[in-house]
Amino acid sequence: MSTRVRTLTALFIGLLLPWAAGAQEQVLNIYSARHYKTDDALYEGFTKQTGIKINRIEATEDALIERIRNEGARSPADILITVDAGRLWRVEQQGLFQPVKSAVLESRIPATFREPNGLWYGFSMRARVIAYNKERVQPSEVATYEQLADPKWKGRICVRSSNHVYNLSLLSAMIERFGEAKAEAWAQAVKNNLARPPKGGDTDQIKAVAAGECDVAIANHYYYARLARSDKPEDKAVVEKVGVVFPNQDTTGTHVNISGAGVLKHAPHREAAIKFLEYLTSDEAQRYFADGNNEWPVVPTVQVYNPALASFGQIKYDPLNVSALGRNQPAAQKIYDRVGWK
């Protein structure tokens, strides 16, 4: 072989080897609408355990859905992660998930927290609680969601907008339990009791209670837990003034929701995607959800050591399958529109 041929051959091999190594590299492409910095530990833990590299794109749920639809069958996305069963249902309705059958997922995740056909699974749980001003309100006065409809709360309730998925899911659960007529009567009464037009996020509602703008508010529990774990004096001052109730402990149980994920229809790395979903049910990953974002694990056997969660004690939660929260979402939005809850 001539020197020139040997040189060209060596050059060709040198160019080929990095490509071949890259082609064999195990990867997983995740589109995430969860924007919690603490989730980095989840991704790092999975890669450390499996050797599978994670490529992640973060955006709003709507932007990610539009991107997946535009990419079509050529989409590189393997998994979509988002918060709230209502959002997962929206993705499901557009035919973007594929069913997954896994003994690990089915044994670790209670049926309440997964789509019945395996299209998506919940991995952490959050509760919709009632925050109250400790000086003005007794916990027994807000022991149920239904009590918020009492006219005595006129001008005393704060809550975010009705079109936010957290409130859509709460009303969807009421529709499932009590029917549309009773759900609408509740929505109308609460809207009549608002202290101000809906605005801001859940933390804003809790702070409004502390500031005296209203006496009670509806919020997800982990927003309060964040304030309780904060070292900031202003956050500690809020917690000193505000308590929380987990409603309906003596009846249906507190309304809960999930963060969850599903394998996308055209996932190029299906096996790696299923491994990732299964990893999210591990004790290690479940504790990340609890310690990092103050959410409860959905796996009932996992012990957590978050002092804010521990302070809440054991709660009874509504055992409705969370898929109902999406199914009833269109009806819930129509009700909020009819009663004028902006």
The mean pLDDT value for 241-252 works out to 97
Cα separation of 154 and 66, whole Å?
41
Fold equal for 27-125+257-308 and 126-255+322-339: yes
The mean pLDDT value for 119-143 works out to 97
The mean pLDDT value for 185-195 works out to 98
Confidence band for 39, pLDDT divided at 50, 70 and 90 = confident
pLDDT at residue 2 in the model: 47
The overall average pLDDT reported for the chain is 91
pLDDT at residue 24 in the model: 54
Q: What is the pLDDT of residues 305-340, one digit of tens each?
A: 899 999 999 999 999 999 999 999 999 999 999 999
Tokens matching residue 333: 């939005």
Is the per-residue pLDDT at 19 higher than 90?
A: no
Cα separation of 254 and 318, whole Å?
5
pLDDT at residue 20 in the model: 37
Least confident of 10-19, 135-144, 266-275: 10-19
Q: What is the pLDDT of residues 222-246, one digit of tens each?
A: 999 999 999 999 999 999 999 999 9
pLDDT at residue 69 in the model: 94
Q: Return the CATH architecture of domain 27-125+257-308.
A: 3-Layer(aba) Sandwich (3.40)
43: β partners: none
Distance spanning both ends of the chain, measured CA to CA: 80
CATH code: domain 126-255+322-339 is: 3.40.190.10
Domain residue ranges of the chain, discontinuous segments joined by +? 27-125+257-308, 126-255+322-339
Are 105 and 216 contacting, i.e. CB atoms less than 8 angstroms apart? no
Structure pTM? 0.88
Count the helix, strand and coil residues of the chain and give each as a percent rounded to the nearest 5. 50, 15, 30
